[in-house]
A and B are shown apart, each in its own frame.
Chain A
Amino acid sequence: MNDDEAAAAALLGIDAGSPEVTVLRLLIRLAAQGVGAREGSYFAFDADAGDLVVAMTTADAEIARSLVGRRVPLGDGVTGLAAATREVQIGAPRYHFETDEGLRPPPEGQSLIAAPVLWKDELLGVLTAVSFDAERRFTREHGDLYASAATVAALVLRQRQRIRDLEQALRRDLTKRGLDATSGDAARVARSVGRLSRQVRLPELASLLETLESIAEGPVGE
């Protein structure tokens, strides 16, 4: 894994190298291609700082290195507005007036889509697409597609967080019971729970957790 991927994973708050990182990157690329955009990005919401930070982008490597980690205040531009209003925003940069001669015709410029990634009422980030083509202006239909992609992104990110929370909870519980949660059977159990939670619903996992726990406790009693 390269430094950019590691940085992206850290910004996303999910484990580097997890399948979800790959899925998210693919989703960003597909969504951008779907609307004919030149670039797509994902801005993670940093609740502590109150701003958005570029976590992932489809821009080429050199541009990506300068973009990842860049911060945008809430409400700033189309991206910040999408986060602040929790609504898909489609817009362009600001054009200036000609002095004394009315409005200057829009130059070749950008069109931008920004769709907030929401899990229930919680803002996770913003998915964006940008076009540098004067002939390519995004429409409501493009916005709808991005809104759907944002919904999928929320599911991907939230799933990863739930798995991580579950693994951490299990490790804490095993540690409390005197088991070493970082190695051996206990560690394998914790990882198994993480994999299994992808396949089964949590209520059904409850009885399975009890079985796994008794397996993990077995070696200590001997």
Chain B
Amino acid sequence: MRPLELRASAPGLPEDLWTLREDPLTPVRVAVLDSGIDATHPWLAGRVEEAWATEDDEGSCSVVQRDPSAHNDVFGHGTAVGSIIAGIAPNARLIDVRVLESGSTGSGTALVAGLEYAVRRGFPVVNMSLAATAKFAALLHRLVRQAYRQGQVVTAAKRNMPLVDNGYPAEFSDTVSVDSLDTDRLAHVLYRPGEPIEFAAQGEEVRVAAAGGGYTIRTGTSLATPVVSGVVALLLGANPTLRPFEIKTLLKMYS
């Protein structure tokens, strides 16, 4: 697998994606469906615009509002993911949507409820560094298809564990599916033609914010996915009218 060479950029966009960060960019809301975000962390302070959490309500899931300036992370995973997006895209406004609960083993029902909320609200970018099993495939497919038609970009992590599938919703072409890559170039996105998981980004030994303060080092597709979300936020910040298929084309070009 070799990275494609940089090609000439589309009219109106710079050749080097990284230089986008120096331009005035439109703020872009990025929903992070995860374990919550520690908004008190120095790397994330002031970057979380809204905070929500799914709650089990007699067999169904409701979405309740939380304090966006508080430590809302139950596991540390969402803080790590959010810190990557915030680090790459200075224009990203994080929407914390907690779909993992302390003491639980990650309900697919909560993930579906969180995605349903993000799609209903129309957040331009939805980061899903989590993968659900095939049991939830039909529900997730309906939602990501709706998101695509509404012009939302859903980035989805490939499952780290080699099971019978790559995880859902990463399996769906309506998403920007992401695998992990070992590279020293942060924000480098690799396009993989013909592969079910179309893109790959840095996901090995990534330095991320640790919930509660400090930092830690993590490896996995969970960390590669927010790299792509951050890049997408930069692209949308430069041109908010871009549609999902155009975003994919640009990612391929910049690969």
A, B co-complexed: yes
Q: Is the CB of B219 within 8 A of A90?
A: yes
A92 proximal to B (CB < 8 A): yes
Q: Kindly identify, within residues 142 to 169 of chain B, every residue whose CB is under 8 Å from any CB belonging to chain A.
A: 159-162
B75 proximal to A (CB < 8 A): yes
B178 proximal to A (CB < 8 A): no
B85 proximal to A (CB < 8 A): no
B-side residues, CB < 8 A to A, are 35, 42, 74-77, 100, 102-106, 130-131, 133, 135, 159-162, 180, 182, 203-205, 207, 210, 212-220, 222
A103 proximal to B (CB < 8 A): yes
What 1/0 flags go to A104-120 for Cβ under 8 Å of B?
00100000000110000
22 residue pairs bridging A and B, Cβ less than 8 Å apart:
A75-B35, A75-B102, A75-B103, A81-B75, A84-B105, A87-B159, A87-B160, A87-B220, A88-B220, A92-B217, A94-B210, A95-B215, A95-B216, A96-B213, A97-B215, A103-B215, A106-B217, A115-B161, A139-B219, A140-B180, A140-B219, A140-B220
A94 and B208 alpha carbons, distance in the complex (Å)? 10
A31 proximal to B (CB < 8 A): no
What 1/0 flags go to A58-86 for Cβ under 8 Å of B?
00000000000000011110001101111
Q: Is the CB of B216 within 8 A of A74?
A: no
Q: Which residue on chain A has the smallest CB distance to residue B135?
A: A121
A123 proximal to B (CB < 8 A): yes
Q: Nearest 6 pairs between A and B by C-beta?
A: A90-B219, A75-B75, A94-B210, A88-B160, A147-B161, A96-B214
Q: Is the CB of A74 within 8 A of B161?
A: no
The majority secondary structure among interface residues of chain B is: loop
Q: Which residues of A contact B159 (CB under 8 A)?
A: 87
Q: Is the CB of B130 within 8 A of A85?
A: yes
Q: Which residues of B contact A219 (CB under 8 A)?
A: none
A-side residues, CB < 8 A to B, are 50, 73-76, 80-81, 83-97, 103, 106, 115-116, 121, 123, 137-140, 143-144, 147-148, 150
Q: Which residues of A contact B130 (CB under 8 A)?
A: 85, 87
Q: Is the CB of B42 within 8 A of A83?
A: no
Scoring B76, B203, B207 by chain A CB atoms within 10 A of each residue's CB, the highest score goes to B76
Q: Which residues of B contact A90 (CB under 8 A)?
A: 218-220
Scoring B106, B135, B180 by chain A CB atoms within 10 A of each residue's CB, the highest score goes to B106
* Chain B proximity of A73: nearest CB distance (Å): 7
Knowing A90-B219, A147-B160 are in contact, say whether A139-B204 is a contact too (CB < 8 A).
yes
* Chain A proximity of B182: nearest CB distance (Å): 7
Q: Which residue on chain B has the smallest CB distance to residue A120?
A: B133
Partner of B212 from A75, A83, A94 at Cβ < 8 Å: A94
A75 and B34 alpha carbons, distance in the complex (Å)? 12
Q: Which residues of A contact B105 (CB under 8 A)?
A: 74, 83-84, 86, 123
Q: Is the CB of A139 within 8 A of B160?
A: no
A74 and B106 alpha carbons, distance in the complex (Å)? 10
Q: Is the CB of A144 within 8 A of B35?
A: no
Q: Which residue on chain A has the smallest CB distance to residue B211?
A: A94
Q: Which residues of A contact B35 (CB under 8 A)?
A: 75, 84
Q: Which residues of B contact A80 (CB under 8 A)?
A: 75
Knowing A85-B106, A94-B210, A139-B204 are in contact, say whether A148-B162 is a contact too (CB < 8 A).
yes
Q: Is the CB of B106 within 8 A of A143?
A: no
Q: Is the CB of A92 within 8 A of B106?
A: no
A81 and B73 alpha carbons, distance in the complex (Å)? 12
* Chain A proximity of B47: nearest CB distance (Å): 17
Q: Which residue on chain A has the smallest CB distance to residue B207?
A: A103
A73 and B76 alpha carbons, distance in the complex (Å)? 13
* Chain A proximity of B162: nearest CB distance (Å): 6
Q: Is the CB of A73 within 8 A of B103?
A: yes
Q: Is the CB of B42 within 8 A of A97?
A: yes
Q: Which residue on chain B has the smallest CB distance to residue A75?
A: B75
Q: Is the CB of A85 within 8 A of B182?
A: no
Knowing A88-B161, A94-B214, A147-B160 are in contact, say whether A138-B219 is a contact too (CB < 8 A).
yes
Q: Which residue on chain B has the smallest CB distance to residue A139?
A: B204
Scoring A76, A91, A92, A139 by chain B CB atoms within 10 A of each residue's CB, the highest score goes to A91
Q: Which residue on chain B has the smallest CB distance to residue A143?
A: B160
A116 and B163 alpha carbons, distance in the complex (Å)? 12
* Chain A proximity of B100: nearest CB distance (Å): 6
Partner of B205 from A74, A76, A137, A144 at Cβ < 8 Å: A137
Q: Which residue on chain B has the smallest CB distance to residue A45?
A: B105
